[in-house]
Chains A and B, each alone.
Chain A
Amino acid sequence: MAISSPLEAFLNGSERVFWGYLLVSAIIALVWYVRQGNTLSWVQLKRYWWSLDARLDYRYFLVNWLIKTLLILPVLLSGQTVALWTLSALNAVADPLFLPWYYRDIVLLYTLSLFVLEDLSRYALHRWMHSNPWLWKIHQVHHSAEALNPLTFYRLHPLENILFALRHAVVAGMVTGVFIFCFGARVNLYTVLGGNLFIVSLFAFTGNLRHSHIRLGYGRWLERVLISPAQHQVHHQRRHMRHNFGSALAIWDGLFGTLKVSIEAPDDRSFGLGDGKRRHFDSVRKLLMQPFFSIYSSIRRTLK
C-alpha cells in the first residue's frame, strides 16, 4: 500500500490502523472488557502493550514499512496497469459496451464488486498460504505471535506482502478494466473515510480487535456471514489454523468448509506456533530471515 511514512498508516482512512478505527476498537474493547466483569489496571495495560511480542511488532512494523516502500512498491505491478491490460484485451475481441446505466448504480455495483472479489481473493490466497508447504514457511512469520495486538496485522514477511499486493493489483485491475469496458468512464467508488464503503462499514471498526485478546463474537448466525474478531483469534489458535481464512466475509469459509464459529472453539489463547518455535521468530532479523533458512533447509532435505 502506498504510504509515505509509517505515521501515515494511522492517519489514512484506507489503512487498517487508522486512528479512528483504533479509537472505535478501543471503545468496543473497553466496554466488552468491563462487561465481562474485569477491571482495567495500568499494570495489565503495560503487560499487554509492552509484551515481548508487542515490542517486536512495533519494531517490525517500522522495518517492514521501510522494505515495502524502498524495495517492493517501486517494482510492483499496479492495479492501473492490470486495468489497462484488461481493457485492451477486451477491446481487442469486442466493441466497448457503453451500457446506459445510471451513474449511482454503476458506482454501487463497482464498489460492491471490488469488495466481494477482493475478499474472495484474500480468502483464497490466505488459505493457499496455509496449505502450500513453501508458502506456509513464509506465512509462519505472521502466526509466530503468541500475543496479539493490532500491529500484528503488519507482521508479514515481505514476500507475503508482495503476494498480497499482486493479488490486489490483479483483482482491482481486472474489475476496473471490465467496468470501464462495460460503462466507459462512469466508474467510481463509494468511499467512507477514504476506504471502500462496504469494508469500512462491515469491517474497519472492529478490524483492529482481530489481533487482540478481546474475544468479541458476533453470535452463531452472524458469524456465518461476517468474520468476527473472535473468529480470527480462533484462526490464530494452533489447533484451528485451518479454519476461518476469511477477512470480512465468512461466507467463503462456509462455502468451502473451513468455517468455525467462535463459540465452538475454547478461549485458551493458545496463539503462536507452539513447540518452542517462537525462538526462531523472536527478533526482526529472524522474522525476515527464518523463512529463507526454512526454505533452504527443505530444499536441501529434498535434494538429499
Chain B
Amino acid sequence: MKAFTGLSLMLLLGAPALSQAAEQDPYAVIYDTVIQANANNAVTYCGDLKQALDNPSSEQRHQAFAQLTEGWGRVQASYILGAYDMDAMDYPLMVDYFHMGKEDIHESLGRIMKGDLAASKALYKNSYKTLGALDDVMFSGPWTERRKEMAEVISSNVCKRLTQVRDGYQEHRADFLDDHDKALSLLINAEIENIYKTRDWRIAQISGLTKATLGQPKPEHQQYPYSKASWGFIGAILETNKQLLADDQQPNVATIVYAKHGEEGMAAVQEALTASWVAYQGAPAEHNYNTGDMIPLFQGLLDLQKAFYRQLVGSIGVTATLIDADGD
C-alpha cells in the first residue's frame, strides 16, 4: 500500500511535466505552429484579399495581395500534404503556376480583359486562376470593373484551394505524427526543394546568375512582376526555414536533428540560412534583381542547399545499415 501511495504521488506530481513534454513533441509543435498555422493564415489572408477588392485604395489592395503571397510562400516552404493525399500533390499548381508552361499568360489575360465574356467562363484554364494571374489582373494596369470581376473569380479559386490545403492538414495530423521518419524526410525535402527553386527560379534566372542568363537580369520574369510581391515571397520562404531550423525557435527540426546527434550538420545548415537571411535583408531597396546585388543571397542559398545535402547524407547513414560490407 505504501508503495502504491508513493507511486500515485509520483504520477500525480509527474502529470503536468508529462503533459508539457507531450505538448513539446517537436513533430506536433512543427505541425501545429508551422504547417497548420501557416495554412490557416493563408486562408485568412485570402479572405482579406477578397474583401480588399472592394476597397478603392490601391495601396490597401496591394497590401492584401502582398500579405496573401507571403502567406502562400510560408505554406509552400513546408508543403508536404501531397505525400498524404495524392490529389493534394497538384494543389500548389492550382494556387500558383509560376515557372510552369510556356503560354504568355499576360497576353491571354489581356485578350480576356478586352472581351465581354463573363469572367467565370473566360478564365477557364487553371493557369488563368492562380496568384500569377491575380498579380497581372490587379496590377498590370488601371483598376477597372472588368479587372475586379476577374480578380474575384481568380481569388475565389485561390481561396478554395488554400481551404483544401488547410482542411487537408487538419485531416492528416495523425498520419504525420504516426511516422516520424517519413515526416522528417518530407519536411526536409520540402525545404530543400523550395530552397533550390528560390535560388534558381526566383533569384538566379531573374538576376542573370545562370549560365544561360549570365549578367543579364530579367526582372520582368519574377514571380509577381506587376505587384513586385516576389521579394516578399522569397522572404517568406526564408522565414519559414528559420521557423523550422533556428535554435531560438525550438522545438523544431533542429530539436529533432539534435536528438539524432546531427549537431555538426545542423550548425552548417543554420549558418548558411543565417547568411542567406542577412544577404536578403542587406539587399538594396531598389535592387530590381541587379546581378551584383543578388550574388550574396544566391551564394547563401547555394551554401544552404549544400549544407542540407551534407546533413541529409550524414543522417541516412549508408555505411552502417548493411550487413557484410566485407567479402566472403
Which residues of A are at the interface with B, using a C-beta cutoff of 8 A?
A: 1-2, 14-16, 78-80, 83-84, 87, 95-96, 98, 100, 102-103, 114, 118, 122, 125-126, 129, 139, 142, 153-154, 156, 160-161, 163-165, 168-169, 172-173, 175-177, 180, 183-189, 191, 194-196, 199-200, 203-204, 207, 210, 232, 247
Evaluate contact between A172 and B318: CB separation under 8 angstroms: yes
Q: CB-CB < 8 A to B323: which residues of A?
A: 14-16, 195-196, 199-200, 203-204, 207
Closest B residue to A193 by beta carbon equals: B323
Evaluate contact between B181 and A122: CB separation under 8 angstroms: no
Evaluate contact between B313 and A184: CB separation under 8 angstroms: no
B11 within 8 A of partner (CB): no
Stretch at the interface among B113-121, B146-154, B183-191, B285-293: B183-191
A87 CA to B83 CA in the complex, in Å?
24
Q: Which one of B185, B319, B320 contacts A185 once the chains associate, using CB atoms below 8 Å?
A: B185
Contact flag A2-B320 (CB < 8 Å), given A103-B185, A180-B309: yes
Evaluate contact between B186 and A95: CB separation under 8 angstroms: no
21 pairs of residues in contact across A and B, judged by CB atoms under 8 Å: A1-B325, A1-B326, A2-B319, A14-B322, A14-B323, A80-B313, A118-B322, A125-B327, A160-B326, A161-B326, A165-B326, A184-B192, A185-B191, A185-B312, A186-B185, A189-B316, A189-B321, A194-B320, A196-B322, A200-B323, A247-B328
A129 CA to B326 CA in the complex, in Å?
13
Q: CB-CB < 8 A to A247: which residues of B?
A: 324, 328
CB distance from B205 to the nearest CB of A (A): 11
A187 CA to B181 CA in the complex, in Å?
10
Evaluate contact between A129 and B327: CB separation under 8 angstroms: yes
B303 within 8 A of partner (CB): no
Q: Of A96, A142, A196, which is in contact with the most chain B CB atoms at under 10 Å from its CB?
A: A96
Contact flag A191-B321 (CB < 8 Å), given A185-B312, A186-B186: yes
Q: Of B191, B308, B319, which is in contact with the most chain A CB atoms at under 10 Å from its CB?
A: B319
B310 within 8 A of partner (CB): yes
Q: Which one of A100, A122, A196 contacts B328 once the chains associate, using CB atoms below 8 Å?
A: A122
B226 within 8 A of partner (CB): no
The contact size tier of chain B is: 20 to 34
Closest B residue to A64 by beta carbon equals: B326
- B63-107 interface (Cβ within 8 A of A): 82-83, 89
4 closest pairs, A vs B, by CB?
A185-B189, A185-B188, A168-B325, A184-B189
A79 CA to B325 CA in the complex, in Å?
11
B314 within 8 A of partner (CB): yes
B247 within 8 A of partner (CB): no
Which residues of B are at the interface with A, using a C-beta cutoff of 8 A?
A: 82-83, 89, 181-182, 185-186, 188-189, 191-193, 196, 200, 308-310, 312-314, 316, 318-328
Closest A residue to B184 by beta carbon equals: A185
Q: CB-CB < 8 A to A114: which residues of B?
A: 318, 322
Contact flag A160-B327 (CB < 8 Å), given A83-B313, A180-B309: yes
CB distance from B82 to the nearest CB of A (A): 6
Evaluate contact between B324 and A16: CB separation under 8 angstroms: yes
Evaluate contact between A14 and B320: CB separation under 8 angstroms: yes
Contact flag A164-B309 (CB < 8 Å), given A80-B314, A187-B316: no
Evaluate contact between B193 and A156: CB separation under 8 angstroms: no
Contact flag A180-B321 (CB < 8 Å), given A102-B83, A153-B328, A156-B327: no
Q: Of B191, B316, B328, which is in contact with the most chain A CB atoms at under 10 Å from its CB?
A: B328
Q: CB-CB < 8 A to B89: which residues of A?
A: 100
Closest A residue to B319 by beta carbon equals: A79
Evaluate contact between A79 and B318: CB separation under 8 angstroms: yes
Contact flag A169-B189 (CB < 8 Å), given A126-B328, A160-B327: no
Evaluate contact between A168 and B319: CB separation under 8 angstroms: yes
Q: Which one of A164, A175, A187 contacts B185 once the chains associate, using CB atoms below 8 Å?
A: A187
Q: Which one of B182, B318, B321 contacts A103 once the chains associate, using CB atoms below 8 Å?
A: B182
Closest A residue to B314 by beta carbon equals: A80
A200 CA to B320 CA in the complex, in Å?
14
Q: CB-CB < 8 A to A79: which residues of B?
A: 318-319
